[in-house]
A = this chain, B = another copy of it.
Amino acid sequence: MPINEFSLIEQYFNQQAFKCDDVILGIGDDAAICKIPKHKKLAIAIDTLVSGVHFLPEWPADVIAHKSLAVNLSDLAAMGATPSWFTLALTLPESNECWLAAFSKGLFRLADQYECQLIGGDTTRGPLSITIQVAGLLEQPLMRSQAEVGDLIVVSGQLGAAAAGLAIIQNQIELQEPFKTQASEALLTPQPRIALGKTLSTISNCAIDISDGLLADLNHICESSDSGATIYLNKLPLFEGLKSLDEKTAWEYALCHGDDYELIFTIKPPFKLQLEKLSQALDLSLTVIGEITSGNQVICLDQHDQNMEFSNAGYRHF
């Protein structure tokens, strides 16, 4: 007998190890019921991943699940929130139990890592897509609108690895190991910068994740903060695998292709020492790549102070 909607939820989605203290009623009623600790605010993000657009249907189901949750957790990281719970709207062409078991495993592996509880959802039949909404708690949000002229622009981790992973799949480039595996992992199973986001409010009040591409997302900061920015290309922390490519292509991967799920954030120059300490504490590179300027343009300067133009300003669905 094929599995039905209700036993599917019971078997694959009502079994995670972690239970959040703030969840009063989880899966199984018309709605979930949660409470919020005093003095905390709720951060809420929602993202859809569509088969053939954000992932390929032949990707392993645990990878699809990981990425679907990770991109949402990345939004919470960019606000400085600690993940609490999430809901899942899963649209499937058929109820394939093997696929569901793998999906469930990948989903809860990441959810449990960040102590984030699945509290409800909806399963429907249709073309494969996954919508996840996450909620997290915070006291002071890191907002796009809070950058000020003279602030330093900092980026976490390395840039362009996910773009390299996609280019490998599309047979546009070839990389040697270990770069090939690193690029693939960056594309398929990105790690949201939750630990960074949670501690950032001590040195920053403005952050964004660079899922749309560094330049596109820096533009969002500049628009919201009514400012401009200068980026120094030779300071970009390029993924090492990109060093076999010509310089302009490597910069394009790092600035324009998106899917990196690192954070960019702004700090006042006196916080540079604390930035270094934070980098050591988190064992994560945090690189100053430029500064916020007056005006409303994002300018990229090479090592000769020449302005380089980049055509692609992030992935756009429409």
Task: State the A residues within 8 Å of B (CB).
Answer: 2-6, 8, 24-25, 28-36, 38, 41-54, 74-76, 78-79, 81, 87-89, 91-92, 94-95, 119-127, 129, 131, 133, 135-136, 138, 141, 143-145, 207-209, 224, 316-318
User: Does B122 lie within 8 Å of A46, measured CB to CB?
Assistant: yes
Decide yes or no: A25 and B91 within 8 Å by CB, A5-B318, A30-B75 being known contacts: no
Contacts of A75 in B (CB 8 A): 30-31
- CA–CA, A289 to B148, complex, Å? 64
Across-interface contacts of A51 in B (CB, < 8 A): 126
- Collect the chain B residues with CB atoms within 8 Å of residue A145's CB: 29
| Measured CA separation A2–B5 after assembly (Å) | 39
Most buried by B among A45, A50, A87, A318: A318
B318 and A79 within 8 A (CB): no
> Are B122 and A131 in contact, with the CB atoms below 8 A?
yes
Q: Which of the residues B49, B79, B87 comes within 8 Å of A44, measured between beta carbons?
A: B87
How far does the alpha carbon of A316 sit from the alpha carbon of B317 in the complex, in Å?
Answer: 32
Given contacts A8-B318, A131-B89, contact A43 B53 (CB under 8 A): no
Which residue of the partner chain, among B28, B31, B129, contacts A224 with CB atoms under 8 Å?
Answer: B28
The winner among A44, A49, A207 for most chain B CB atoms within 10 A is A44
Tell me the complex Cα distance, A25–B75, Å.
Answer: 14
A25 to B92, CA, bound (A): 33
Given contacts A48-B122, A95-B318, contact A25 B141 (CB under 8 A): yes
* A57: min CB distance to chain B, Å: 12
Provide the bound-state CA to CA distance between A119 and B48, in Å. Answer: 16
By a CB distance below 8 angstroms, the chain B residues around A29 are 79, 141, 143-145, 208, 224
Report the separation of the CA atoms of residues A76 and B29 in the bound assembly, to the nearest whole angstrom: 10
Residue of B nearest to A71 (CB): B122
Complex CA distance for A33 and B141, rounded to whole angstroms: 8
Please give, as numbers and ranges, the residues of chain B lying within 8 Å of A6 by CB-CB distance: 316
Contact A36 B45 (CB under 8 A): no
- Distance in angstroms between the alpha carbons of A48 and B44 in the assembled complex: 18
Residues of B within 8 Å of A87, CB to CB, are 44, 46, 133
A27 to chain B, nearest CB (A): 11
Q: A33-B79, A144-B28 are in contact. Are A91 and B318 (CB under 8 A)?
A: no
Q: Given A33-B79, A44-B32, A143-B29, is A126 in contact with B316 using a C-beta cutoff of 8 Å? A: no
